[in-house]
Amino acid sequence: MTDLNRVGVFCGSSPGGDPDYTILTVELGHLLAARGIELVYGGGDVGLMGTVADAVMDAGGSVTGVIPSGLFSREVAHRGITNLVEVASMHDRKAQMYEMADGFIALPGGFGTLEELAEASTWTQLGIHNKPVVLLDRDGFWSGLVDWLDAAVSARFLKDRNRRIIMAAGSPEEALDMMAGWAEPYAEKWLDADEA
């Protein structure tokens, strides 16, 4: 079982083209606040990043944003949150978020979102930390990635146990419940030649 005191959320710095992305993001933010779970995110005040932070704050929750100093102007650092941490680089941002959060939820996003969820998952696979990742996927946004993960298992590039590091949920409630119930033990990453 995983204690969820802080959840890291990866998501787009734009709102995307479907209004449901914003609706889903607000639902997640309100639920985090209702459950007393602190949001840890990238510190921006734009796109889905700003939406999730605003939703948590509006519902009386706590938010920590982690933003590289070079993105203060481009992402418009969110100055209306509980705690804003300035770091030197993108790498430092991710490392700080990975250290602070008990698990991670990926909302729709682009390259940055994909990079963050891939690296957080890799850190669990390598035993650097032991934290789950959930794709919040009500409309099939992440279905291509889910198919690729299953293909990586079939092609023997990924152990099935390590495949389970990344889960998919259709609602914020399901995502948090999956994370809380996650208890996958560390499994050595490398597949032996004779291993199924």
User: Mean per-residue pLDDT for 110-128?
Assistant: 93
Q: Give the pLDDT of residue 74.
A: 60
Total Cβ atoms within 10 A of residue 46: 16
User: Mean per-residue pLDDT for 138-162?
Assistant: 94
What is the overall mean pLDDT for the chain? Answer: 91
User: Mean per-residue pLDDT for 138-163?
Assistant: 94
- Residue 161 pairs in a beta bridge with none
Per-domain boundaries in the chain: 6-181
Residue 92 has, within 13 A of its CA and on its CB side, a CA count of 11
Give the model confidence (pLDDT) of 12-61 as tens digits. Answer: 999 999 999 999 999 999 999 999 999 999 998 999 999 999 999 999 99
Find out if CATH 3.30.450.20 is the number for domain 6-181: no
User: Mean per-residue pLDDT for 60-71?
Assistant: 90
pLDDT band at 77 (very low <50, low <70, confident <90, very high): confident
pLDDT band at 73 (very low <50, low <70, confident <90, very high): low
Contacts of 82-86 with CB under 8 Å at 24 or more apart are 82/38, 82/57, 84/43, 85/43
Distance between CA 163 and CA 26 in Å, rounded? 28
Distance between CA 9 and CA 129 in Å, rounded? 17
Q: Give the pLDDT of residue 69.
A: 83
Higher pLDDT, 88 or 33: 33
Q: Give the pLDDT of residue 75.
A: 53
Most confident of 2-11, 26-35, 119-128: 26-35
pLDDT band at 196 (very low <50, low <70, confident <90, very high): very low
pLDDT band at 191 (very low <50, low <70, confident <90, very high): low
Question: 151 Cβ partners below 8 Å, 6+ apart?
Answer: none
- In the predicted model, is pLDDT for residue 3 greater than 90? no
Given a contact cutoff of 8 angstroms between Cβ atoms, the answer to whether 93 and 68 are in contact is: yes
pLDDT band at 78 (very low <50, low <70, confident <90, very high): confident
